[in-house]
Structures are given as structure tokens and as C-alpha cells.
Structure 1
Amino acid sequence: MAILLSVFSVGCAGAAHERLGAEASTSSAPMTAPANPDLILATTTSTQDSGLLDILIPVFERQTGYKVKPIAVGSGQAMMMGERGEADVLLVHAPDSEVVFMDAGHGADRKLVMHNDFIIIGPADDPAKIRGSAAATDALKKVAHAKAIFVSRGDNSGTDQLEKRVWSLAKIDPTGQQWYQSTGQGMGATINVASEKNAYTISDRATYLANKKNTKLEILVEGSKELLNVYHVITVNPAKSDKINKAGAIAFAEFMVAKETQDAIGKFGVDKYGEPLFFPDAGKKDSDLGL
């Protein structure tokens, strides 16, 4: 599975935001206000912590008249909200669980939006000697062998599911080990805990870069095929509840894959971090990313 993380030649996120904002302001308000303007978006903590939604949601609201209430939880919790009819649309990054969600009839439509990657971060002195490991599985084997502290989110989020899958591929069950600790919190909080404990953890790249100035942890392992991080937008099956905002969910999903939004996604973070935090994928198939 090839990781599609080539460096794009892109402008700054601020310019993308200005273009989106200009387009929203020059187009008049919706001819008819939405009958139900309230839209509940259940999304991952990584999209919230990175600041991406702070750029995109105001533009969507100006263009459509909808008012978005984002609820940042792990992907697992987001899908549980969708299953219970407590959210209208989901932005998640747990592909295996998403397929199960769709097959069970909980989702109406699922679109590929973007990807970035996960990274293994840890202390600069790297007691487990994982720096530069080509495979994430090899890195985790070294962590286990060294009994170095590893901090897990432990919240059934997309990141947590990815981490558990890599441990499984490494044929290691860290559960119950003293060196394996869980926060039960989001990515930003977990990075902070790992930093305080001088420990290792797995993070999505966007959240790490957004928190880089506040942590002493460094990127030690990246580019491993096991660490691809793919995001989809899912509209919840309106049969789940008569409160589901079907029209709003469809509008948000279409907005996320629109060209202007995809351009903004591809440029987000470049001005601040020197590299994009996400790579746009609308129009591609999951198989194009090796899923």
C-alpha cells in the first residue's frame, strides 16, 4: 500500500481561505433559507485540533445558510452517534469501521475527502531506538522489547483503531503491560500526556504539527505503509431518526468534495508549517490509496 504523501507545490492556507471567503461573499445569500438550518457534524478530534474546520465551516455556513454544530470525538464515537441518529453527517478516519457502518445501513452515502499519515513520535533520546525504522511494526516491537512507556488514546477513535491494528500486525498484545498506558482522551491531550511522561505515541501528522511548539516529542517513524490516514465524509441514513437533516448533510458532503474546498484542504498548513496537513482526494477511489 503506497503512501501518497508527495510534497505538492502549493500556496498558503491563508490565500485558500481568502479565495473561499471571497467566493462566499460575492455569491448572494441562499435564495431560500434552509427549512432546517441546524446541522450536527460528528467529526474526529484531529480535524478539529488541526484548525481545518475553523477554516471550512464558516465558508460552508455563508454559502448555504446552514449552522454547523461540530462535535469532536473519536471516529468510533462519531459513528455511534450516527447509528443512534444523533448526528447528521460524519467526518471520520477509520475505513474498516466505516465499511461496517455502511454495510449495516447506518450511512446513506460515503465520499473520499482527503488523507495524511500517522507518525510515531517520542522523546529525543529515543530509549527504544526506533528512530528511522522503515516499518511501524518494527518500531512497536522495539518499544515493547525495551518496555518503554507508550501512551495510547484508548478511545476507539480512528487513531486508536489504527494503533491497535499495528500492534496486531506486530503480533504483540500490549494490554495490561505496565509500560502501556491509556488516556481515553483526544489526540492533542494524548500528545501532552506522552510529552509529560517522556513517552511514545502514535499521532496523526496534522495534530502533531499543530501542537509541535507545545511538546518536546519528535517524529521518529514516518512513511510506513501501515500509517496511512484516510478521511471520508458520511451522510447518516435519515431512517435513523426523523430529526436527521438529510438536505444539510448532503450539502456538507458536497461542499467537502467541491473543487474550491479541495484546493483549500491541499493548501492548509503550508504557510504555518511549511507543508500541507492534508492531501485532497475527492474523485479518487479507495483503491487508489491502497485501501
Structure 2
Amino acid sequence: MDKKVIAIIAAVIIIIAAVGAYAYTATNSPNTSVLRISTTTSLEDTGLLKELEAAYEKKYPGVDVQVVSGGTGIAIQYGERGDVDLMLVHDKTRETKFVDDGFGTNRTQFAYNYFWIVGPADDPAGIKGLNATEAFKKIAEMGQNNSNVKFVSRGDASGTNSRELKIWNSTGIDINSTKNSSSWYIESGKGMGDTLLLANEKNAYTITDSGTYLSFSKDAKIQLVPLITSGKDLLNIYTAIPINPQKFPKTNVQGAENFVNFLMSQEGQDIIGNFGKATVGQSLFTPLANNPLPA
């Protein structure tokens, strides 16, 4: 065979091999220029994640942070499918199971605030001064006999909804049976912002993370007032969980690790601790790197 022909064939083989190697790499290696994050709506609705994202992309030029927002249940579903590299959620029970089942590598608690029970200023059920369990029990009792007492639930398997159901369980009331036969209990099936707006429209009670409430109330979007704002049952802890690359090899491990480290860095914690001061006059979240959780 002519040497020129042999050289051409060899060159073609090299090109084909190179293309194949590139295709294999593109298919099986993580895309380190994109960091995919699933998050709860409260971090998105308040605007905190947008600020953290901007600071992170400035620190790591060339990295595109892509965020999908939903309730914690939806965020976890993304993680279970390997559709994201990192989750930012707030439901310890499901977080622990997620890691124990091998979907996540570890849990890093980076911030907290409180769930608040909010409602009409005239407080028709008279819950102010009660604890969360007592308040829910009284809302249910009054709702059966007073058309002015209503409660709006997210009903979306979010972290907030999970905490709400935990409180209902502590009252001894079977809320699943009650909601099917009672008009006072309303499910929005939506995120926190939309649920607050619906509760405001219905002049009803609801449970919300304090950050989203403060964000929505600052522009008078809602007239509901905080009635119960503290207590162990209402502590709301936010956690970062990287997706396990042993289960999903295309996970951007380095990007997820960098983001968690950024959240826990002085810069990240300062952003979290200062967020809200300029707009609502107080922090919407408390950073956890150097602060103990409330007793």
C-alpha cells in the first residue's frame, strides 16, 4: 500500500480515536463549568440565594450556578435523580435519610431562622402567647365553629409543610381526616410566597419561615402579623448536602464542595448574617459557622 495512503488512514484513525475519547469524556465526566443546585423556596423567595450566587460566581469566574427552586420534597427528588450537584434544604428527618440512603455525602448546617405562625391582626382564634402545639389545637377547635378562623397550608411536601404536619401530629389531631371534611383548612399546593398571599387573601393563619414573611411584608404585600415567633418546635435549620458521586458519577464534586466551603467561609457567613438589614431592618437568617444553635 502506498505510504501516503497509509499516512492518511493513520491520521483518520487518530482523529476518530480523539473524537471518541472526547465524546466519552463529555458523557461521563462532570461539567465543572456548571454547578446545579436545588433549593427550598424560602432561600429563593427572600433573595438570599441570588446574592450568594453572585458572590460565588465572582469568586469562581467561569462557573455558572444554575438554581432550581421548589419545596424541600421537590429539591430532594432532584437529588435522588442525580439532576443536581448540591441541595440546600431544611428538613432534618428527610436530609438524614437522604444521606443514609447513599444519595448525599454529608450534611452541613449553615444558617437558621424560625418558622413563624402568622395570622390576622385581630387574632380571631386567640393564639397569641401560646406555644405552637397549643396554637394549632386552638385554631382547629375554633375553625370548626367560627367561619372567621381559617388556616392555609402549603400542602406541597416542603420543609415548611413537613414541620406543620409534625406540629399537627403533636396536637393529636388527624389533620388528613380533618382537612377532607372541614372548610377551615385550606391547602395552597404552592410555595411560601404564594401561600402567604393566599392566607392574606383569606384572612387566615399559616406557618411560614420568618425570612419569607419579612421579605413579603416589607412592601405591604401582606397584612398578616407574627403571632408566635419562637420555641424549639419552630427552629428552622438550613443544610447543604452535596450529591454522592459514587451514585452519580457526573456530579460536579469540586463545585459542590467549593460552594459549601463558601457558605461556611467568613465572606459567605457575612452575606447570610447581613442579609435583610438594609431592606427590612433586621437579619433574615443567622449564620451557623461561628454561632451555636439556640438551646
TM-score (norm 1): 0.84
Q: What corresponds to 1:83 in structure 2?
A: 80
SS at match of 2:156: coil
Alignment check: 8 A CA contact 1:112 1:284 kept: no
Determine if the alignment matches structure 1 residue 92 to structure 2 residue 89. Answer: yes
- Distance in 2 separating the partners of 1:282 and 1:112: 8
Following superposition, the deviation at residue 214 of structure 1 comes to: 0.2
**1:220 to 1:289, Cα distance in 2 relative to 1, 3 A:** closer
Larger Rg over CA atoms: 2
Q: What corresponds to 1:127 in structure 2?
A: 124
Alignment check: 8 A CA contact 2:31 2:252 kept: no
Alignment check: 8 A CA contact 2:109 2:288 kept: yes
Give structure 2 stretches of 5+ with no counterpart. 1-29, 144-148
Alignment check: 8 A CA contact 1:119 1:202 kept: yes
1:37 to 29, 33, 36: 33
The amino acid across from 2:261 in the alignment is E
Determine if the alignment matches structure 1 residue 71 to structure 2 residue 78. Answer: no
- Distance in 2 separating the partners of 1:139 and 1:236: 38
**1:76 to 1:116, Cα distance in 2 relative to 1, 3 A:** same
- Distance in 1 separating the partners of 2:245 and 2:171: 40
SS at match of 1:143: helix
User: Any idea what the Cα deviations from partners look like across 1:141-177, whole Å, max 9, x if unmatched?
Assistant: 1100111211000111110000000111111122223
Moved over 6 A (4+): none
Alignment check: 8 A CA contact 2:90 2:159 kept: yes
Report percent identity of matched pairs: 43
The amino acid across from 2:173 in the alignment is I
Q: What corresponds to 2:152 in structure 1?
A: 151
- Distance in 2 separating the partners of 1:199 and 1:82: 34
**1:142 to 1:249, Cα distance in 2 relative to 1, 3 A:** same
**1:185 to 1:137, Cα distance in 2 relative to 1, 3 A:** same
- Distance in 1 separating the partners of 2:264 and 2:232: 25
- Distance in 1 separating the partners of 2:31 and 2:226: 47
- Distance in 2 separating the partners of 1:126 and 1:56: 37
**1:82 to 1:54, Cα distance in 2 relative to 1, 3 A:** same
The amino acid across from 2:55 in the alignment is V
Q: CA RMSD in A?
A: 1.5
Q: What corresponds to 2:55 in structure 1?
A: 59
The amino acid across from 1:60 in the alignment is Y
Higher relative contact order (CA 8 A, sep 6+): 1
Q: Describe how 1:108-119 pairs up with structure 2 within 5 A.
A: 108-119=105-116
**1:237 to 1:284, Cα distance in 2 relative to 1, 3 A:** farther
Structure 1, 34-43 or 227-236: larger mean CA deviation = 34-43
Following superposition, the deviation at residue 225 of structure 1 comes to: 1.9
1:244 to 251, 274, 278: 251
Determine if the alignment matches structure 1 residue 273 to structure 2 residue 280. Answer: yes
Alignment check: 8 A CA contact 2:75 2:87 kept: yes
2:237 to 230, 234, 250: 230
TM-score (norm 2): 0.83
Alignment check: 8 A CA contact 2:127 2:135 kept: yes
Following superposition, the deviation at residue 89 of structure 1 comes to: 0.2
SS at match of 1:240: coil
Following superposition, the deviation at residue 284 of structure 1 comes to: 6.5
Give structure 1 stretches of 5+ with no counterpart. 1-33
SS at match of 1:260: helix
User: Any idea what the Cα deviations from partners look like across 1:28-72, whole Å, max 9, x if unmatched?
Assistant: xxxxxx962111100010001111012110110111131111111
Q: What corresponds to 1:203 in structure 2?
A: 208
Structure (1 or 2) with the greater helix fraction: 2
The amino acid across from 1:167 in the alignment is W
Alignment check: 8 A CA contact 2:34 2:65 kept: yes
Following superposition, the deviation at residue 76 of structure 1 comes to: 1.4
- Distance in 1 separating the partners of 2:231 and 2:185: 22
SS at match of 1:76: helix
SS at match of 1:113: strand
